[in-house]
Amino acid sequence: MVALFWPHAVPRVASVCVCKTGSSLETIKSSNDISSLFECGKRFKSPYITFIVSARESSTEEEPFTHGPQGRVAFIAGKKLGNAVWRNRAKRRMRAICCDLGGPWPGSDIVFLAKSAVTRETYSKVLTTCGKTLSRAGFSVEIEAE
């Protein structure tokens, strides 16, 4: 008789990043939305991340926003810049930066586009630089002094 050892099934829970504002990050998943952001959005560059920003407009008066009034974000790390380990690390870092700076910002869609130096530099330096870039873009950011 053969004994079968089957690991107990553990339910998988989607990871949700809860930010300082108490809300979870609503990400942009549609490729059409991301393409329109790349075409129409305004770019703000830092040495570590390029931000593509676009204001969200309500579709009708009855339904103010399609996905809710809070802002949406997308995190992109291209294949040209590194392997899967690097891309996952860059996305985790960008998500943490977004949460630490007080995002998502209501009424706007923002794409975080990783550059190759985002994982090489210390987190505090990347956070400070990105905070300055987003404040230049007109967002109120909350940078904590360490």
- Given this model, what pLDDT does residue 89 score? 95
pTM of the prediction? 0.75
Interatomic CA distance for residues 128 and 126, integer angstroms: 6
Sign of the C-alpha dihedral, residues 101, 103, 109, 110? Answer: positive
Please check whether residue 106 is in contact with residue 69, taking contact to mean a CB–CB distance below 8 angstroms: yes
Which range, 9-18, 19-28, 68-77, has the best average confidence (pLDDT)?
68-77
Interatomic CA distance for residues 131 and 93, integer angstroms: 14
Interatomic CA distance for residues 113 and 83, integer angstroms: 16
ω before 64 within 30° of 0 (cis)?
no
- Given this model, what pLDDT does residue 118 score? 93
pLDDT in tens, 38-71: 999 999 999 999 999 998 765 444 444 455 567 8
Q: Which two tokens stand for residue 138?
A: 């007109």
Lowest pLDDT segment from 1-5, 58-62, 88-92, 111-115: 58-62
> Does residue 112 or residue 28 have the better pLDDT?
112
